[in-house]
Amino acid sequence: MMSVVMKMSDTLPKRKKIRLQNYDYSEPGAYFITICTKNKEKLLWNGELDVQNFDWKLVGAHRVRPQNLPLSELGMVVEEKLNRWDGVYEGVYLSSYVIMPNHLHIIVVMLPNGSGRTRCAPTVSRMIKMFKETVTKQVGVNIWQKSFYDHIIRNKRDFDEISKYIYENPLKWQFDKLYCGE
């Protein structure tokens, strides 16, 4: 009698690869990143957005930060870590971000050095991993979904459309594809 032996890897679902194959994610450029909380739980806001007080603040030549989001304590930790991003990697900065109830959007810009490479050549995946780890370490529990979504920003029009999406996202929360009801 012949027995059938199945490898454990044959029984588990295969995870879909979501990164662009054969692309060097340490290349200079701009990247639109979405990071979700585990199970898309609404952990980052405490209450509703007051649209009368919500605004954006210019904090550098090409950087904006949201003002008056109804952030929870976890959301404030996330914001603190995002605001420190610019000092972590030489030649890398956040152009803009927005923290939503169960996810955040960021635009990461990686500048080239004289040779055309980023100065320290971190990958987008490495930076997101480090960001998630610093938040997890501070709050004492992992609040993040595995992986993240990315989009390589290809030109100025793409950058402008994504920036507009980020700016309007808090005001359109109920229509967001990640909206999960109140």
Q: What are the chain's domains?
A: 25-175 (3.30.70.1290)
Residue position matching structure tokens 């870590």:
81
Q: Write down the mean pLDDT value for the chain.
A: 84
Asked if the model's pLDDT at residue 108 lies above 80, the reply is yes
Report d(CA 70, CA 171) in Å as an integer: 12
Overall pTM > 0.85: no
Query: pLDDT of 112-127, one tens digit each?
Result: 876 555 555 688 999 9
Distance separating alpha carbons of residues 89 and 115, to the nearest angstrom? 17
Q: What's the pLDDT tens digit per position in 18-52? A: 545 667 778 889 999 999 999 999 999 998 888 88
